[in-house]
Amino acid sequence: MNITQPRWKEPQYTRREINSAGSIMRDQNSTSEQRKVAIQIIDNWRSAHAYPLQVFYMNLRRIQGTRNDVIVAQRLKRLNSITNKLIEQPEMELWRMQDLGGCRIVFPTLQEVFYYSNHLKESRIRHEFKRQYNYIENPKGSGYRSLHLVYKFHSDTPGKEVFNQNMLIELQFRTRLQHIWATALETMGLFTHQALKAGHGSEDVLRFFVLVSSLFAMREQCVVVPGTLNDKNELISEIEEINDRIHVIDMLQGIRVAINADEQIHMDKRGYYILTLNYEDQTIRISYFNPSETEKANDTYNFIEQKNEGKPIDSVLVRASSLSAVRSAYPNYFLDIGEFVRLVKTYLR
């Protein structure tokens, strides 16, 4: 029996060309023709991260084993997220962007987050460990909490040395509670058309999520977010005051998404999924690709992004063991934040 092997996109551009493409996307005065060429370069550089990303994904899958209470998924960064990050961080070179390829692993407990992240760092993998960002012990001002490990890919496999070109992969280790909070914030951002994740938007909504993050941190016996009190009653009181005034819970409960019934047939398939969320009419389309169809999935992803540029539509390319695993790892694309709402309501009077 012949087994079809994935065809991996290889990098075709130099460091200078990649950074120049990033500068063009950052420049609001660049021409449409310049942006077209820049997007072509960025698409190739991003797609070339698919093979290194797959290697790390399989490492995390080994950690997961047969456990159903651990979520593992991978994704390539969205084009608009790349562009926004370049604009927000003018000093950043696209060549050095560390999260073009990202893997996410979600554990039930905080102890497992630290145990398995340390286990990976101390293992004998050939990839170069670059840095760690501990947003659990040092939460971001936005309320974001997670543990990030950044690796530079390295391979001694014949034919794969072409990927040893500063391919940085970010691994996110989260608890279930941290994951629920982060995806709820992203969902609220999509629904309100505000970049809440980047700290932009309604001050009341941003403060609401910061306070809830501190409540969740106390629940996990962690440090609270800077600018909030380490006092459960005070946190709840301020959350209630904001909610009474702008009805955040009602807004969250009103977020729904429609999924085409025929797309549910992919529920138990391992492979790649492109999720395309139209957050104006709150519908989602799901495209499925076999594990061997890496190039086709990447090409389709690039085409969909370019076709929908400037529209109220977001797409993401994800790999996971099933659609249900995708939904657990990226509930924000399904506007699925019911668990977050239920948890917050248990605190409110």
Strand order in the sheet with 101-107: 128-134, 147-152, 168-175, 101-107, 71-76, 313-320, 271-278, 283-289, 258-259
9: in domain: no
Taking the C-alpha atoms of residue 338 and residue 255, their distance in angstroms, rounded to an integer, is 9
Taking the C-alpha atoms of residue 252 and residue 209, their distance in angstroms, rounded to an integer, is 12
N-to-C CA span, the chain:
63
Identify whether the C-beta of residue 297 lies closer than 8 Å to the C-beta of residue 272.
Answer: yes
3: in domain: no
Nearest in space to 205 (alpha carbons), one of 143, 255, 135: 143
Taking the C-alpha atoms of residue 310 and residue 328, their distance in angstroms, rounded to an integer, is 28
5: in domain: no
Structural domain of 212:
15-347
3 state SS of 60: helix
8: in domain: no
Q: Counting Cβ atoms within 10 Å, is residue 119 exposed (0-12), middle (13-18) or buried (19+)?
A: exposed
Q: How many domains does the chain have?
A: 1
- Tell me, what amino acid is at 43? D
174: in domain: yes
| pTM as predicted | 0.87
10: in domain: no
Encode the chain (349 residues) as per-residue pLDDT tens digits.
444 556 789 999 999 999 999 999 999 899 999 999 999 999 999 999 999 999 999 999 999 998 989 999 999 998 988 998 999 999 999 999 999 999 999 999 999 999 999 999 988 888 999 999 999 999 999 999 999 999 999 998 888 899 999 999 999 999 999 999 999 998 888 777 788 888 888 999 999 999 999 999 999 999 999 999 999 999 999 999 999 999 999 888 887 665 554 455 555 688 899 988 887 777 888 889 998 888 899 899 989 988 888 788 888 889 888 888 888 888 777 767 889 999 999 998 7
Nearest in space to 348 (alpha carbons), one of 212, 204, 245: 212
Taking the C-alpha atoms of residue 162 and residue 168, their distance in angstroms, rounded to an integer, is 14
222: in domain: yes
Domain of residue 263, CATH code = 3.30.460.10
277: in domain: yes
